Structure 1
């Protein structure tokens, strides 16, 4: 199974509620840049799982434009304080070969660290960062981090 984890793009610093913050123009451009550089591997993505927060939804919409025909599935499992084990259980339940997760820190980083048995925080997931993980089982320590792409890098 191939799992891609995409952190949302740069968002406005303020909104009435945190979940309502929208992407900035730079955030939109950075997400597009990162996704375009990962496109060869992303081509086989079957489904895009996304947090219900506005900035994540906007990020997923950019991904969906580049990957037409992929179904978006909104899930509370991808909110910032989400549990990596619950996210893993959801992914296993869906039985997909290739999935794109669109969410937030700290979950994007902690899920990657948990799945790949990495030193916590070793790989920084800035806004618009995208990781590619290969794994047979969606369980702690079973994944292999193939790459991490940051905007413009």
Structure 2
């Protein structure tokens, strides 16, 4: 299985709450850049898991224009910024197993994403994720390894 962990695009701060922050023009642009690059790496996703926060939802809206519809996509309260990495890892792996997904896209936030990588890939320090950044994790049986990490700045 391949897990594609993506941080939402850049978001503004002019919102009533953190949950309601929206993507900036730069956030939309960088998400589009990453979507175009990601299309060259993977043709489609079996499962997409998205945070309920507006900026993550908007990131998925942008990405979904570049890929065929996944077999299943879900909004998960477990992948918010303050989510528990152990719970988040267990939930996303359970959904991947339930839907027999080989390619899973997760759109979430820092700091959870960094801790999620460290939870899945034993011995790895939690990496930083740039906005719109993506890390691919290969999972074979019980073993996980980091395949690559890309940002809009490394591909442009």
Q: TM-score, normalised by structure 2?
A: 0.88
- Unpaired segments of 5 or more residues in structure 2? none
Deviations 1:82-106 (A, max 9, x none): 1222222222322111100000000
- Which residue is equivalent to 1:63? 63
Deviation (angstroms), 1:118: 4.4
Count of residue pairs the alignment pairs up: 149
Residue among 107, 126, 130 paired with 1:126: 130
Aligned to 1:16, the other structure's residue is in SS state: coil
2: distance between equivalents of 1:86 and 1:111? 9
Q: TM-score, normalised by structure 1?
A: 0.89
Q: How far did 1:47 drift? A: 1.5
C-alpha deviation, 1:61, in angstroms: 1.0
Query: Does structure 2 retain, via aligned residues, the 8 Å contact 1:9–1:23?
Result: yes
Tell me what 1:148 maps to: 149
Partner of 1:83: 84
1:99 to 94, 99, 104: 104
| Counterpart Cα distance in 1 of 2:87 and 2:16 | 29
For residues 92-148 of structure 1, the C-alpha deviation after alignment (integer angstroms, 9 at most, x for no partner) is: 322111100000000111101221124434x321111001110124x6xx3111110
Matches within 5 A, 1:10-29: 10-29=10-29
Contact kept, 8 Å, 1:35 with 1:130, in 2: the verdict is: no
Instruction: Specify every segment of 5 or more residues in structure 1 that has no aligned partner in the other structure, as ranges.
Output: none
Cα pair 1:34 1:152 within 8 Å, conserved: no
